[in-house]
Amino acid sequence: MAANLAVAQRAAVAIETALGRVYWADSLDVMREACASGSVDLIMTSPPFGLVRKKDYGNADAWDYLDWFRPFAEHFRRILKDNGSLVIDIGGAWEPGQPTRSLYHFKLLIMLCEEYGFHLAQEFYWWNPSKLPTPAEWVNIRRIRVKDAVNCVWWLSRSPWPKASNRRVLQPYSDSMQVLLRDGYKAMKRPSGHDISTKFALNNGAAIPPNIIAAANTESNTAYLRYCKHHGIAAHPARFPAELPGFFIQMLTDPGDLVLDPFAGSCVTGEVAERGARRWVCVEMMEEYVEGARARFCRPSSDGQPGQPAAPAQYRLSKPGLQALAEGGEPLSPDGGRVRPASAKRRAEQG
């Protein structure tokens, strides 16, 4: 990808490092004018979500989201290499005023595959254990829905064979697997009919990860936040944790490959790519977020967060509460919670 004169005039290169650059620009302009066809190995991004409640940076409403996305899809298809990948982190949304979910992110996936010829290499889910329970009315007050704690992450590719290796993203064995490796495994047929051979108990050093990425979004005293505070800049309100782009950059690109984030926000993708010796381009159209992103490229990398390989944390998911089932509990409201029950009114009043 070579920046030409037209782009240099229209889209300011705000930050430049040995391996990458941040454009303060509309990414459609940058892709149109500076991205050669078949030049990008990985597009790793989190676009503005089709949220019901609009955010400061102008999310499109769920219903016109697909039309808004189309010009980006055209360029993504054009600029990706044949063995390249497009990874989209996208949160779900609630329908306005009712406890049901929008289908916009599934429609986006189907549009990208059916209209633009992308392949769904695999769907991933980013589980954020620190997600707050919202919307309060459905989750905390009427108690008719549960906490929405996952984002969908669509891993798409131009061909069915994007370059990839799960060996790059192996995880420590779980406690139970470690016990099994220590005590040995008796080969047997599972109730499902699967024949589990003794090979299952071979210690390969680490485990193949599932398609769930567990990473809490709980940055609090990082260099990025301190920099924003010090300079009176608003921190980006929807940053993803470094582990998310880190996982895909590691699994889908080699050092020297080119990674693009066209909706870069605070440029987490750029920072992770830089540390992984990948070339990278980030594009963000809000000046304030670009100003904040300077924090990621103007300091020694001894801060520990984000992007620094952290000690692997283990998150635990509880099994569904069968105990509560045995106890019965409050009867379900036959109208599905349409009318706020008295107990919910009290809960709302108590805050």
Ligand X SMILES: C[S@@+](CC[C@H](N)C(=O)[O-])C[C@H]1O[C@@H](n2cnc3c(N)ncnc32)[C@H](O)[C@@H]1O
Q: Which residues are the active-site residues? A: 46-47, 89
Contact call for residues 228 and 251 (beta carbons, < 8 A): no
Of 1-9, 131-139, 203-211, 283-291, the window that binds ligand X (rule: CB under 6 A) is 283-291
Residue 348, helix vs strand vs coil: helix
Of 45-53, 171-179, 209-217, 246-254, the window that binds ligand X (rule: CB under 6 A) is 45-53
Cα atoms in the 13 Å half-sphere on the side-chain side of 61: 4
Residues shown for the chain: 351
Which runs of consecutive H residues, i.e. helices, occur in 193-260?
Answer: 223-230, 243-252
Contact call for residues 268 and 240 (beta carbons, < 8 A): yes
- Smallest distance, Å, CB 2 to ligand X? 20
Angstrom distance (rounded) from CA 273 to CA 307: 9
Of 3-11, 117-125, 213-221, 277-285, the window that binds ligand X (rule: CB under 6 A) is 277-285
Residues 6+ apart with CB under 8 A from 96: 52
- Write out the binding residues for ligand X, residues 201-260 only, by CB under 6 A: 236, 238-240
Cis (ω within 30 of 0) for the bond into 135? yes
- Smallest distance, Å, CB 326 to ligand X? 42
- The residue assigned the tokens 């509309």 is 26
Of 14-22, 142-150, 182-190, 282-290, the window that binds ligand X (rule: CB under 6 A) is 282-290
The residue from 14, 15, 46, 109 that contacts ligand X (CB under 6 A) is: 46
The residue from 94, 278, 289, 307 that contacts ligand X (CB under 6 A) is: 289
Token duo for residue 254: 């080699």
- Smallest distance, Å, CB 260 to ligand X? 11
Number of residues that bind ligand X (CB under 6 A): 20
Which runs of consecutive H residues, i.e. helices, occur in 80-203?
Answer: 104-114, 136, 175-183
- Smallest distance, Å, CB 76 to ligand X? 13
Q: Is 270 in the site for ligand X (CB under 6 A)?
A: no
Chain positions contacting ligand X, by CB under 6 A: 26-28, 46-48, 57, 236, 238-240, 263, 265-266, 268, 283-286, 289
